[in-house]
Structure 1
């Protein structure tokens, strides 16, 4: 009898998204156990290398969100160890994790991105915050979105409608990183499109998920059940659904992502999908968007969601 493959799920870590990562890890661990895998959950701490050596997993599934997990460093470590892992390699992670970099690359291939400026905290100290913020207000008007240039789960993100609130938003954002992205606010429907790649070079998009929330889709609205409502597929025309899925596929390919990704878009009143963000290690909690899309795709294709997760693990062994 063939022994089940062992999958080591990395969850936790020491960044701001630790709790989300742990919930993601537990959910994926349950799905893979149901699919017949032998699953071990490991934290990313000083015992990680020893525990990986003791377990000798066939595949590692990193579910560390934000820094360490999505900036390429954890992937570089797994490459040094020589372990196959689910998700993008370090190169793809770095391209996607830095929002200004991803926006520039995708803009050059025709994806609509909001006009933006990215500035480090050191420049504010050297030049003076007041002068810079006056230039921002004159360039973009209001509202604008202020967010960390890297990071996720809407941590440190503010929508600023008046000049007097801009300094506070900058302080909040700098609490999560040394570089801030200020971008023109785009009004419209929030849509997330997940991409799965179980055969190299043949990624496919899952049904787009539309998010409706009373107020901003912030950390609380993302992870506390009942704060947001989801529609799968999104309530868009077939043409717009196709355009959203194509934008996500373009982001996945262009940024050299692998196995799994999620692209966040805003579809404005004119029907333009605007690229907002891409995630190389999407959330997998009960309220996360990729699992909802997986469930709908599985229903449409007569399969169990666990089958698709199993295919993702097997893909990590081949490319």
Structure 2
């Protein structure tokens, strides 16, 4: 049974970020689920005319299924605020902060959430020498889905120092976040509304949990719920919910962790909080929701209901969440 009266929902997807294929999969999944539940759906593959297309379609609400820049960094959120259309997930200020790994550290670490140390380095610096002792991690400051992540090891897999000819994010981005590499296990916890769902461990079949491992069927095992000590589960859920609240996230978010199991509680670090987690068949938020008894279609409606409530547009006939 639908949680909501019949709505006209514009599903915003695609765009031109590196995560475009994932966004298209997320958006199509959302659109089909809404149609199955009786809603009218307008699919919008974002282009430079997106504001006009939203104005012309006049939806009741926009489901923002974009990933990366400019759909997840506050740009599209500001545009929709100007148009005056309700939309799902986090707003402008939250999006600006959460997609920026340095700003996220400034927002969360002072409140006791452990995150890896690190600093921003210019890519040019890397050709002269290592900014940190190896192994360390280099990643774009404002990309998601492990796009452009490189692990620089003591074996000198990119040269020592890094070679200008070595393929890596230093060839694509002027500056990068440099962090010490944390050995151990990959964990993630989703928050829906004001509820932390559960913890999943991600076990790539080879390498690390990069873009391909996330979105290629069979390349990563999802252990859900994670087979980890109860105290680590508790801390992941606590930190994920705290990050969601401190950053001002709406709808749903997903926080990713590394856990050095040789160090116990002291080995747990939050890496980032995603304000617009994927909604593909392999995505983690739908999987965790399903384990909590929330099927995909209901999950989509819960996220829309949260948006309508935030913007004061929740129909009086909507069921209580």
Question: Normalised by the size of structure 2, how large is the TM-score?
Answer: 0.87
- In the alignment of these two chains, the number of paired residues is 299
Judging by fraction of residues, say which structure has more helix: 1
* Residue segments in structure 2 that go unaligned for 5+ positions in a row: 311-321
User: Are 1:218 and 2:225 counterparts?
Assistant: no
1:255 matched residue in structure 2: 247
Change (3 A) 1:55 1:188: same
Change (3 A) 1:166 1:210: farther
Q: How far is 1:80 from its partner?
A: 0.3
1:271 matched residue in structure 2: 264
The one-character-per-residue Cα deviations of 1:61-92 (angstroms, maximum 9, x if unpaired) are 11111110111000000000000000100100
Partners of 1:69 and 1:281 within 8 A in 2: no
The one-character-per-residue Cα deviations of 1:234-268 (angstroms, maximum 9, x if unpaired) are 11122211110001011111111111111100121
Change (3 A) 1:165 1:296: farther
Question: Secondary structure of the equivalent of 1:108?
Answer: helix
1:161 matched residue in structure 2: 153
Q: How does 1:33-72 map to 2 (within 5 A)?
A: 33-72=35-74
Partners of 2:127 and 2:161 within 8 A in 1: no
User: Are 1:204 and 2:195 counterparts?
Assistant: yes
Q: Which one of 219, 222, 229 corresponds to residue 230 of structure 1?
A: 222
The one-character-per-residue Cα deviations of 1:199-242 (angstroms, maximum 9, x if unpaired) are xxxx1111111100122111111111001100111111222111
- How far apart are the structure 2 equivalents of 1:196 and 1:5? 21
Question: Normalised by the size of structure 1, how large is the TM-score?
Answer: 0.88
Q: How far is 1:165 from its partner?
A: 5.3
- How far apart are the structure 2 equivalents of 1:40 and 1:34? 14
Partners of 1:283 and 1:290 within 8 A in 2: yes
The more displaced of 46-55 and 277-286 is: 46-55
RMSD: 1.9
- How far apart are the structure 2 equivalents of 1:120 and 1:189? 29
* Residue segments in structure 1 that go unaligned for 5+ positions in a row: 198-202
- How far apart are the structure 2 equivalents of 1:100 and 1:265? 16
1:200 matched residue in structure 2: none
Partners of 1:155 and 1:176 within 8 A in 2: no
- Could you list the structure 1 runs, at least 4 aligned residues long, displaced by more than 3 angstroms after superposition: 128-131, 168-171, 174-178
- How far apart are the structure 1 equivalents of 2:62 and 2:174? 30
Q: How far is 1:142 from its partner?
A: 1.4
Question: Secondary structure of the equivalent of 2:188?
Answer: strand
Q: Which one of 278, 291, 302 corresponds to residue 283 of structure 1?
A: 278
